Structure formats: C-alpha cells, structure tokens
Chain A
C-alpha cells in the first residue's frame, strides 16, 4: 500500500452461508483512476461493492481504502467515501434541496458551509432549477443526478457506484459520467454489466462466479484476445469444427453453438471459409474483439445479463 494506491484488496473472500460469493479476489486501484468491475449476474460484483462500501463486514482477506484498514477503520473510511447505490438512496417525498440538506447533516456539514456546498453541487449536477421539486416528480436520469450530487456533497476522495447507470438512457448515463469526470482527484470504483460503460474505465476487473477472470486496461484486455474475431453459425457446427481446423489449420472453438476463431489475421480466412463451407453457413461475422469476447475468451461462456443484476435468492433475503 502506497500513497498512490487508493484501494487495495488481497485474498478477499465472502460467503452467504454455504454459497461462496467471492473467492480470493485481489486488485489495486491507483489514486484518481476510474476502475470498473464487470460481470454477469451472480459474479460477485455487488457483494464486492457491499464490502467496499462498509455495508457488510469482512469475512476473509485484507482491504485498504485510502490507506485505512476496512476491517478496523470502517467509520473513518465512511467519512471519506461517496456511495451511489443501484437502488435510489434519496427520499422521494423530499425536495432535491432537502435531500441534499439531510445528506449534508449526516456527513457532519451544517450552516453556511452546508448551504454553499448544496448550491455548488446543485450547479455541478445542473439541478439548480429543480431544487424545490420533490424527487418523486423527477425523471430517472435527474434522480440519479440528485444521488450523485448527494454523494459528492462531502467532497469524497473515493466514490463507489453500484450499477449506477442501470435503467438510464444513454443521454442520462453520459450526464452522470460528465458530473463525475468534472470532479478532480477522486478515485471512482464502479460495478456494471454494460460493456460500453466498462470500456470507458481506466482499469477493469472482470468477475465471474466470485473470481477474477481478467484484469487490466480495457484496450489491453481486448488486444489480448487477438486483433480480430470471426464468428460462424452453421448447420452441424460440431462436425464443422473439426473440418475447419483440419482444412484451414486454425484453432477454432465451439461456444454455445457458435464457432469462433481469434487471431490477428483472421480476415484472410473469410474467402476460404466461404468457399469451403459457404452453403452450410447461416451467419458469419468478423469484428474486432469486444469485452464480451474477452469474457468469452476467459470463461468459455457468453456474458449474459437476464435483468439488472438480479441477485440469486438464498435463505430469507436476496443477495448477489
């Protein structure tokens, strides 16, 4: 742990009863960076978020946030933390300003200092003209901006976002990130299942079934897969897999009924594939690798999100 590392986790594991939600997770996030955690439902990213936000106690492993030990200094961490949950944490019955006022009081702000901070955050989030409106009257995108304004009210050094853009349209999502990026010097950790959002991060950790399957800069992760990905859907793909490998001397994979060939010069194979197997091919797609391809490359399965990070049910409560 150094001054340049905002968040450091080592050997992090967490279980809900018998079910292991996180297993041996380790990562470092430098100060001032935007770091994403990408994973499908049940991958453990929400559990990780709950641990980092101090909502649940550590079971195993070590986590340092802003140089403070999560296990023993949770209260001190909370004073320097801003959190935006997937479900809204603002009071719909209160106005925008009232929400920020109560939020500020909970952060220990008061009087003129609080009033000035509220005005500054209303301006930053472009909410000044809606300050007197009740939150229940606002659109989803505006509510999210209220959340962000409340989260940033106490000038946090570290901001945690749990699927914060879920349910937002692209414009609202851009607004949210614009407000965040305008803050200087803060470190942002976010969980998401949106590929395009994850691709914007400075650093990315891919999670699956509670374990890290890949980590690095999004561009590097995609480059690792290879320069190009050729996907082929065809009749009798199992039979075609062998024929492809034999006749074209390439390494192909069959993933959930789709044949995949990864590599830097895969485009050169397209004419040969069409010539030999054209009649059997139903779909052929050549593309640069996406984070979906990275996930598939690392886990052997597609990244599927059935609903906004629906948590598996275990025991009496929903958790993920």
Chain B
C-alpha cells in the first residue's frame, strides 16, 4: 500500500513542478498578498501593538496551506474527468491509499511553498527563531494535512471544478478570514467572535502564532490550538478516507 501512496504522492509533486503557470502563481500569490496587505495597512493597523506585516506573516502561511490545498485537490476532479482516477480505482490499490497519496501530496506542496515564503522572513523584517521555525513547520504540516483532507473530501464528492471553486469560496475563504489570519477576532461582533471558536482554522492559525510569535492576546492556549489542529486533521483525513472507500455508481462517471 505504501508503494502506491508514494506513487500517487510523487505524481502530485511532479505534476506541480511541470505546471509552470501553477508553480509561478502559487509562489507569487502569497508574496503579493503579503506585500499589498502589509503595505496598505502598515501605518494604520497594529493588531496587539504588532506591525501588520509581522501579524499577517503568520496569516499568509495559513493562507498558503489553504490555497495550495484547494488547487492541489482540484486535481481529484480533473483526474476523474480525464479518466486517470478510473484507472487507479480498478487497480489493486486499497482505496485508502488514494486518499493518503493525494492528501500527503497536497500537504507537501503546501509545506514547500510555506518554506519558500518563510525564507523571505528576514527581508520582510520578521524575525524567526530556530525553535520557532521547527515548531512552526510541525504545525504547518498538521494544518496542511487538515486543509488538504478537507479539500480532498469536498473534491471527491463534487462534479465540476467550477462547483468546487464555488464551495471553496463559500466555506474556505470565510474559514480563513474568521481564523485570525488577516485580523484579530477577539474584538469582532459577538456572533463572529463565537463563530471563530467553531472554526477549525482558528486553532491552526493560533498554533502557528504561538510557534512563530509566542503567546498572543485573544488566541487560545498553545495546547488548545494544537489539539484543535490535530483534531481537524484527523477528522478531515478520516472523512477523506471514508468518502473514497465507499464504492458507488458515481465512481464510474
């Protein structure tokens, strides 16, 4: 089974590296976002007294994992449409391996792009400690698995790329916006403030803040954030495996 997982994982990486527009877009988009937001809000917005560029640095890392997951898992729909998935489904590979290979592939891409972005931290005036980076990478890995698992699950049950994009914008963008990645949530409207606690991305972004910036006001404790992120990853991974292992007439489409 692990051989099949590795094959599917490796294919994701190879396809990504060969798709130049996707590669360039994935690398530049978070940098441009960070430059625009931190530049525009530099003088006017200092969450917790912190420079916005530093604050949004962690948010950008979360955004990278989320956006990479979206674009990586959309290949599930493409694979189905192009017939590649049918070929995998009739091979002797356990279906759980398909979920594992795809999720690990997407998560790896998210991690790679996040690492590239982290290399720009000194240029951006963000100081990172060695311990913080190691801890942050571990959290990023769990968060990347979580969001890729979610993207995979949604992509598996979706018919079209356009529909998938619609669902992504409907659910995942609000998840990111309400996670504290772009702005602190503790002063938000009471209703939104409540929503952030049921938003699993809150814990992922919170864990990243703890790892890279230490305790931040309004963010749950590191332990709670870690537990929340692990639970998020476990839930989406199991959900992804569940939808894949159900054999139904739709597999043949």
Indicate if the CB atoms of B249 and A319 lie closer than 8 Å. Answer: yes
- Whole-angstrom CA separation of A174 from B244 in the bound complex: 37
**Minimal beta-carbon separation of B21 from chain A (angstroms):** 13
Q: Which of A81, A93, A316 contacts B90 (CB 8 A)?
A: A81
- Whole-angstrom CA separation of A110 from B15 in the bound complex: 21
Chain B: interface size category: 20 to 34
- How does the 8 Å CB contact mask read for B233-248 relative to A, with 1 for contact and 0 for none? 0000000000000011
A320 closest partner in B (C-beta):
B252
A55 in the interface (beta carbon within 8 A):
yes
Indicate whether A106 sits within 8 Å of B93 (C-beta atoms), given known contacts A85-B86, A87-B82: yes
Segment among B6-14, B118-126, B144-152, B209-217 that sits at the interface with chain A: B6-14
Indicate if the CB atoms of B252 and A106 lie closer than 8 Å. Answer: no
- How does the 8 Å CB contact mask read for A147-191 relative to B, with 1 for contact and 0 for none? 000100000000000000000000000000000000000000000
Indicate whether A316 sits within 8 Å of B159 (C-beta atoms), given known contacts A93-B19, A98-B14, A102-B11: yes
Indicate whether A108 sits within 8 Å of B92 (C-beta atoms), given known contacts A50-B252, A56-B252, A94-B11: yes
Pair count A-B, CB < 8 A: 87
A107 in the interface (beta carbon within 8 A):
yes
In the bound complex, residues from chain B placing their C-beta under 8 Å from that of A316 are 159
A91 in the interface (beta carbon within 8 A):
yes
In the bound complex, residues from chain A placing their C-beta under 8 Å from that of B128 are none
B95 closest partner in A (C-beta):
A75
A89 in the interface (beta carbon within 8 A):
yes
**Minimal beta-carbon separation of A82 from chain B (angstroms):** 9
Indicate if the CB atoms of A88 and B83 lie closer than 8 Å. Answer: yes
Count residues on chain A whose CB falls below 8 Å from chain B CBs: 35
In the bound complex, residues from chain A placing their C-beta under 8 Å from that of B3 are 105, 108, 110
B25 in the interface (beta carbon within 8 A):
no
Q: Which of A83, A87, A106 contacts B4 (CB 8 A)?
A: A106
Q: Which of A57, A75, A78, A93 contacts B15 (CB 8 A)?
A: A93
- Whole-angstrom CA separation of A106 from B8 in the bound complex: 9
A277 in the interface (beta carbon within 8 A):
no
Indicate if the CB atoms of A106 and B82 lie closer than 8 Å. Answer: no
Indicate if the CB atoms of B4 and A92 lie closer than 8 Å. Answer: no
Of B82, B249, B250, the most chain A CB neighbours within 10 A belong to: B249
B194 in the interface (beta carbon within 8 A):
no
Indicate whether A57 sits within 8 Å of B250 (C-beta atoms), given known contacts A89-B83, A90-B87: no
Indicate if the CB atoms of B87 and A85 lie closer than 8 Å. Answer: yes
Residues of chain B in range 42-91 having any CB-CB distance to chain A below 8 Å: 82-84, 86-91
B94 closest partner in A (C-beta):
A75
Residues of chain A in range 114-157 having any CB-CB distance to chain B below 8 Å: 150
A318 in the interface (beta carbon within 8 A):
yes
B251 in the interface (beta carbon within 8 A):
yes
B253 in the interface (beta carbon within 8 A):
yes
In the bound complex, residues from chain A placing their C-beta under 8 Å from that of B248 are 56-57
- 3 nearest A-B residue pairs (beta carbon): A89-B87, A105-B7, A87-B83
Instruction: Enumerate 26 A-B pairs (CB-CB under 8 Å) in ascending A order.
Output: A55-B252, A56-B247, A56-B249, A56-B251, A75-B92, A75-B94, A78-B90, A79-B92, A81-B90, A83-B86, A83-B87, A85-B86, A85-B87, A88-B83, A89-B83, A89-B86, A89-B87, A93-B15, A93-B18, A93-B19, A94-B14, A102-B8, A103-B91, A106-B91, A108-B3, A150-B87
